[in-house]
Amino acid sequence: MKIKNKTKYIIITIGILILAVILFLFFSTKKIFIEENRSNIYINTDREEANDVEEKLLEEIARPKNFNFTIPIFMYHFITDEHANASDSENFMPPAKLEIQLKYIVDNGYEAVYITELDKLYKYKKPIALTFDDCFVYFYNNAFPLLKKYNLKSSIYIITDYINGPNYLTTEQLKEINESGIVDIQSHTLSHRYLTRIPIDEASKEIIDSKVALKDLLDVNSTVFCYPIGDYNNKIVDIVKENYTYGLNMLGGIYNSKTHSKYNIPRIYANRSMSMTTFTNYLKQSKVNANW
Adjacent-strand bridge partners of 76: 132
Superfamily of domain 68-291: Glycoside hydrolase/deacetylase (3.20.20.370)
Question: Closest by alpha carbon to 224, among 131, 128, 147?
Answer: 131
For position 288, what pLDDT does the model report?
Answer: 95
List of E strands, the chain:
66-71, 73-76, 78-79, 92-93, 111-112, 127-134, 154-158, 183-187, 224-226, 246-248, 255-256, 268-269, 287-291
25, 28, 52, 53, 187 from 41: Cα distances, Å: 24, 20, 10, 7, 34
Which amino acid does the sequence have at 227?
A: Y
For position 33, what pLDDT does the model report?
Answer: 45
pLDDT in tens, the chain (292 residues): 545 555 656 666 666 666 555 555 554 544 444 444 444 444 455 555 655 555 555 455 567 778 899 999 999 999 999 875 767 889 999 999 999 999 999 999 999 999 999 999 999 999 999 999 999 999 999 999 999 999 999 999 999 999 999 999 999 999 999 999 999 999 999 999 999 999 999 999 999 999 999 999 999 999 999 999 999 999 999 999 999 999 999 988 999 999 999 999 999 999 999 999 999 999 999 999 977 5
Which segments of 116-233 does DSSP mark as H helices, in order? Answer: 137-138, 144-150, 171-179, 200-218
CB-CB neighbours of 84 under 10 Å: 11
* Residue pair 220/226 in contact by the 8 Å Cβ criterion: no
Distance CA 291, CA 283 (A): 23
Domain ranges of the chain: 2-62, 68-291
For position 21, what pLDDT does the model report?
Answer: 54
Nearest-5° angle of CA 159, CA 165, CA 167?
90
64, 185, 283 from 254: Cα distances, Å: 23, 22, 10
Run of H or E residues at 33: helix 2-44
For position 31, what pLDDT does the model report?
Answer: 47
